[in-house]
Amino acid sequence: MRASLLTRAGAATAAGAIAVTGAMVTTGAANAATTHVRRLPTHLSIAKRHAVEHHRRITLIGGDLRSHRTPLRGKLVFLERKTPGSKWTVIGHERTGLRGGVAFVVNPKVTAHFVLVFRGGGNFQGSHSRVVTVKGS
């Protein structure tokens, strides 16, 4: 069977469209893989308070996680400790509350340094607080 000139032109146009579309999809996927998501900056504050519980002195370490003054709730925050001659060690983790707050109870035997760490994720950058020192009991 002989194909008409119109049929041949249509087939060539369809093949060209498929080739161009396939190339564009490939290019789009390559660009999507290299696109970096802009994460919002975060700020993690820290504070220590002394308290007495059942005639025993304890220290509360609290923090506040925010992004542009907006509290971040439900985010995982880690408490890390460092004693003289050791490395930073994760000793606890908690999720932030409704207003971005988190709290830990510590009672070190020797003087130790503590820091709060938010590792980031989703739309938010990671951050860490300043270091606070708690004297041993």
Instruction: Quote the pLDDT of residue 134.
Output: 94
φ/ψ of residue 35, rounded to 5? -75, 130
Distance between CA 91 and CA 21 in Å, rounded? Answer: 54
Walking along the chain (137 residues) 10 residues at a time, the average pLDDT comes out as 60 60 54 71 95 84 96 97 93 96 94 96 94 90
Instruction: Quote the pLDDT of residue 27.
Output: 54
Instruction: Quote the pLDDT of residue 45.
Output: 97
Instruction: Quote the pLDDT of residue 58.
Output: 86
Instruction: Quote the pLDDT of residue 38.
Output: 85
Rg of the chain over CA atoms, in angstroms?
28
Q: Tell the CATH topology of 43-134.
A: Immunoglobulin-like (2.60.40)
pTM, full prediction:
0.71
**Domain regions of the chain by residue span:** 1-35, 43-134
